[in-house]
Structure 1
Amino acid sequence: MTADEPVPPGPKPVRPRAARGKNPGRSRAHNRRVILDLMRSHGQLGRKQLAEMTQLSQQAVTNIVDELIADRFIVARGRLKSGRGQPPLQFAINPDGAITIGIEIAVTQMVTTVVDLGGNLRHEDIAPLSDSSPETLLPLISDTVARLAAHFDATLLGIGVVMPGPFEIEGFSGVGPTTLPGWAGIDTAAELAARIGVPVSVENDANAAAIGETLFGSGQALSNFAVVYFGAGLGLGLISDDRPIRGAFGNAGEIGHVVVAPGGRLCPCGQCGCLERYASLHALREALDAVDLPGDHATLERMMAEGALVLTSWIAEAAAHLAPMIAILENVLDPETIIFGGALPAPILDAVIAELTFAPSVSARSDRDLPRVIRGRAGPMAAALGAAALPFHAAITPRLELSEHPTPVLTGDPA
């Protein structure tokens, strides 16, 4: 599947979950997530299986299953055939029971996705932006969410919003064409939650893309990996033991402003030679502007097919600056693989990967199951899909909760 092919209808149960429940009544909300997560990962399950897998009592499982049926989050799927006795009733996630909405705010566009409780992509839209200020976008997001929520007969668990980092920085002298001006000091999650009335999670685009690859793409079978995300700038999303690594202030993985060419090109952050000045969509568009060529996807794919010199030269330069960063990431993080994804067309990502000259690192092993760098399969929608996955995971996945954000409670349990 290429980056421009449709996203498959929902996640595959490739990574078995083994989260356990807790019997005390005060842990009911956790137990509900455990049961929902097991159903998402394993498909149809009966009460006895759920009790064994969660180590909860059968009565506790029965109570939770009954509540989830009443809330439309799961449905009965018939009885499992067995040799004797009453066949056990099977239950499964009800995709139509709930939705989440993901919003990716980029410098020039807003991408919107809707994902149902089964992890299926139900809606996607890309709208150009001429004004990315909060005064314009906050009401626009609120109106968009209200319109989409009215279209689906399902509970809205929450919305996820992603935007380029870094967030709330003082060490850089200013913002540039790869960041969103005017958002400093705004509590985006609180502002939107007050307007919309559901929990809101906010994440940087690279981490959201990593979550998107976990749900829909190349990270489905992986627990430890990194995503180099080519947006307007360049970022890194990190997944460690199935959890996103955010850092203390949400800025973990800000590799775009690591100096890789001392004394090199001036960056709006105040440094010279930052990685994203050589390897980012904005850097590519600068190269195209120099020869008066547009940087839209159709033109880039045509230039790639024709072997245009300006594009092949940029690919070689980007790969030369990315290669040492790949070795650093491998030595620091020891990932299963590093995924390239984002706004660049799939053929260009493939060409950059092919051009990499790998330095020695701890990942240079003969028994590897995966190449050191691969292309993502969630495509250019990865960050928007990850945005929708933020409240989705907070609601039903015990191991991928983002603890700093509000956690949706599926029925209003006090736990």
Structure 2
Amino acid sequence: MSTSVVDSRTAERDESLRGSNQAGLRAHNERAVLSLIRRHGELAKSEIARLSRLSPQTASVIMRSLEADGLVLAGEPRRGRVGQPSVPMRLNPDGAFAFGLKLGRRTSEMVLMDFVGRVRESRAILYRFPRRAEVMRFVEEASTELRQSLGPALRRRIVGLGVGMPYEIWSWAEANGAPPGEMDEWSTVDFGAELERATGEAVFIANDVTAACGAEQAFGTDVSANFVYFFVGAFVGGGIVMDGALVPGRIGNAGALGSMPVPTRLGERRQLIHVASVHVLERMVEASGRSAVELWRHEADWTGLGPLLDEWVETSAEGLAYAIASSLAVYDFERAVIDGSFPPPVRARLVEATRAALERFDFQGLQPIAVTQGSIGRSAREVGSASLPFFAKFLLDHRVLLAER
């Protein structure tokens, strides 16, 4: 999506940011400039003026303001053949910070991320299923520790807490292995309000895999304007990007690919979450008499799983292939991106097996699709969550799925 201030689609999408007065327009233009710099890494003022279609004078005024606020830094002058040397501008990593919380079905993790998307510090907790009181204790302790990892001046630059959590997390209690009724409290609690009281930060909430998809688009190394995204965690989920815009959906649940029915080898149809999720491998490992706790650790090595892993990769790839083929009948994506909570070698195997499974499909009437690995990895949901306050406060983006409480 173009960040030009005169692009009609952008203007329409960001009318709430633009406002009708001069102050609102200036805020919109500053967001446009910051978004351009984020997208390109660094830009000279002349390039900013050209890409944003702002006048050189307006672009210079905005850059001086952003530099004074500590949001951008000037790089080394680049000398051309004629005229004054150009000075590239880049985002200041210390310009802003945000907390990101991933509330998962087996783990929760909280990160402190800087303005260029680098995770500075993180904390994690492992559990069998998420109990609200346990999660809140973790958030209070982790946010305090992460805040203290910054100097006093930088702490004032923390701009909010982004949260990625499964849609209707309480409805997956049985599949999550929770005793009956143990997760019902999630259906009535105002989790955002509790987090605000616990951390003192503005809270922004999104579906966890939608946030991960946003992280892939914002910080990924091989980004496409049209891709369908799969994150294989405890339960597999998905996200959708069309024309460079992350699509949250009418109620924020677009790309709920884990609920897509797919055929199995036994001839029955099951939802993708029961075919291509890590909890399926977990149960296979436990059924073999071994402990599956290592599956959920960040530095886990799955090579010792042997035939169990082979079977899971093959079965998961077939399910993912059906889901990808089905999504192509709805929209002509050019890429399917697969990431997840597993070691990189497992991700590579799963992607290759999915490609192989797709080769057996009849694609008559459909465009071919590339299947690639995600570039963020295990931390995609945390990174995507932490980026939510940045996009809400500083940048132009499609992520209107979130709202500050």
TM range (shorter): 0.7 to 0.9
Which SS does the other structure have where 1:33 is aligned? helix
CA distance in 1: counterparts of 2:327 and 2:37, whole angstroms = 35
Alignment-derived partner of residue 334 in structure 1: 332
Asked whether 1:257 is paired with 2:242, we answer no
Partner AA of 1:64 in structure 2 = I
Are the counterparts in 1 of residues 122 and 146 from structure 2 also a CA contact under 8 Å?
A: no
Q: CA deviation at 1:156?
A: 1.0
Alignment-derived partner of residue 276 in structure 1: 273
CA distance in 2: counterparts of 1:362 and 1:206, whole angstroms = 30
Alignment-derived partner of residue 246 in structure 1: 248
Q: CA deviation at 1:88?
A: 4.8
Equivalent residues in 2 for 1:162-177, closer than 5 Å: 162-166=164-168, 176-177=175-176
CA distance in 2: counterparts of 1:199 and 1:97, whole angstroms = 18
Q: CA deviation at 1:175?
A: 5.0
Are the counterparts in 1 of residues 281 and 308 from structure 2 also a CA contact under 8 Å?
A: no
Alignment-derived partner of residue 302 in structure 2: 301
Asked whether 1:214 is paired with 2:199, we answer no
Equivalent residues in 2 for 1:141-220, closer than 5 Å: 141-152=139-150, 153-154=153-154, 155-166=157-168, 176-177=175-176, 181=183, 182-218=185-221, 220=222
CA distance in 1: counterparts of 2:137 and 2:395, whole angstroms = 30
Distance of aligned partners of 1:45 and 1:351 in 2 relative to their CA distance in 1, 3 Å threshold: closer
Gaps in structure 2 of 5+ consecutive residues: 7-17
Are the counterparts in 1 of residues 92 and 115 from structure 2 also a CA contact under 8 Å?
A: yes
Equivalent residues in 2 for 1:9-408, closer than 5 Å: 18-20=3-5, 24-129=22-127, 132-152=130-150, 153-154=153-154, 155-166=157-168, 176-177=175-176, 181=183, 182-218=185-221, 220-261=222-263, 273-295=270-292, 296-297=294-295, 301-303=302-304, 308-356=306-354, 357-358=357-358, 359-361=361-363, 365=367, 372-406=370-404
CA distance in 2: counterparts of 1:339 and 1:42, whole angstroms = 22
Partner AA of 1:282 in structure 2 = H
Q: CA deviation at 1:327?
A: 0.6
Distance of aligned partners of 1:316 and 1:398 in 2 relative to their CA distance in 1, 3 Å threshold: same
Which SS does the other structure have where 1:113 is aligned? strand
Deviates more, 1:206-215 or 1:282-291: 206-215
CA-to-aligned-CA distance 1:124-175 (integer Å, 9 cap, x gap): 3333246722233235324422332332243112221112234687xx8x65
The structure with the largest helix share of the pair is 2
**What is the TM-score with the length of structure 1 in the denominator?**
0.79
Q: Number of residues paired by the alignment?
A: 376
The RMSD of aligned alpha carbons is 3.3
CA distance in 1: counterparts of 2:316 and 2:76, whole angstroms = 55
Are the counterparts in 1 of residues 110 and 139 from structure 2 also a CA contact under 8 Å?
A: no
Are the counterparts in 2 of residues 227 and 237 from structure 1 also a CA contact under 8 Å?
A: yes
Are the counterparts in 2 of residues 99 and 117 from structure 1 also a CA contact under 8 Å?
A: yes
Are the counterparts in 2 of residues 301 and 347 from structure 1 also a CA contact under 8 Å?
A: no
Are the counterparts in 2 of residues 178 and 233 from structure 1 also a CA contact under 8 Å?
A: no
Relative CO higher for 1 or 2, CA cutoff 8 Å, sep ≥ 6?
1
Distance of aligned partners of 1:78 and 1:195 in 2 relative to their CA distance in 1, 3 Å threshold: same
Identity fraction in percent: 26
Partner AA of 1:221 in structure 2 = V
Deviates more, 1:113-122 or 1:383-392: 113-122
Are the counterparts in 2 of residues 95 and 116 from structure 1 also a CA contact under 8 Å?
A: yes
Alignment-derived partner of residue 12 in structure 1: none
Gaps in structure 1 of 5+ consecutive residues: 1-15, 267-271, 408-415
CA distance in 2: counterparts of 1:318 and 1:387, whole angstroms = 26
Which SS does the other structure have where 1:400 is aligned? coil
Alignment-derived partner of residue 13 in structure 2: none
CA-to-aligned-CA distance 1:259-281 (integer Å, 9 cap, x gap): 33599899xxxxx8322122211
CA distance in 1: counterparts of 2:310 and 2:264, whole angstroms = 24
CA-to-aligned-CA distance 1:47-95 (integer Å, 9 cap, x gap): 4443333223444333322322222111333544245554455433211
Distance of aligned partners of 1:310 and 1:88 in 2 relative to their CA distance in 1, 3 Å threshold: closer
